[in-house]
């Protein structure tokens, strides 16, 4: 009987510790808005709107970019696009999100890239200002032509 009560007390204590750890674990941050759009001018490569999708997990954040401003001239394999998205941080400084992640892109299709990785702090307000894409050794520099809508990402 004594062993049964000891086992029950131990199980209850372990459960309480596990629940306490779960409650104390940091939650994934919520970025608002999660999706935004912005106009880009990419010089002789074209211009158009880009869709941005942001996610956050603590201080780590990612942004995916899909833009009709640049069309793939040839089939582009997955992971072949090196990208740097520069964003204005809190209205004055800048930060960059970088990566080589992209899905396979058929010739003539809009370029998609990401997730691009960056670091954020609680309360950061980030708005895209430029995008640099390198495909097959060709660098495409895009400058924002409009404000990010519906507004900056707030982490």
Residue 72 DSSP code: -
On the question of pLDDT at 17 being above 70, the answer is no
Mean residue pLDDT across the chain: 85
* Whether pLDDT at 47 is above 50: yes
H or E element: which one contains 71? strand 60-71
Encode pLDDT of 59-93 as tens digits: 999 999 998 888 888 999 999 999 999 999 998 89
Residue 42 backbone phi and psi in degrees, to 5: -110, 30
- Residue 68's pLDDT is 83
**Residue of 97, 45, 94, 99 lying closest to 68 (CA atoms):** 45
Q: Which domains does the chain have, with CATH numbers?
A: 35-148 (2.60.40)
């Amino acid at each position: 009987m004594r062993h049964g009560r000891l086992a029950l007390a131990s199980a209850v204590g372990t459960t309480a510790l596990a629940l306490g750890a779960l409650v104390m674990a940091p939650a994934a941050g919520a970025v608002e808005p999660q999706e935004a759009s912005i106009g880009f001018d990419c010089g002789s490569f074209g211009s158009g709107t880009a869709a941005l999708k942001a996610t956050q997990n603590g201080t780590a954040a990612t942004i995916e970019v899909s833009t009709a401003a640049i069309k793939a001239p040839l089939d582009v394999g997955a992971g072949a696009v090196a990208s740097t998205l520069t964003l204005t941080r809190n209205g004055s400084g800048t930060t960059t999100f970088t990566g080589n992640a992209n899905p396979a892109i058929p010739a003539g299709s809009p370029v998609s890239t990401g997730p691009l990785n960056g670091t954020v702090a609680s309360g950061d307000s980030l708005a895209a200002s430029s995008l640099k894409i390198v495909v097959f050794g060709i660098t495409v520099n895009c400058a924002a032509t409009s404000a990010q809508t519906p507004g900056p990402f707030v982490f």
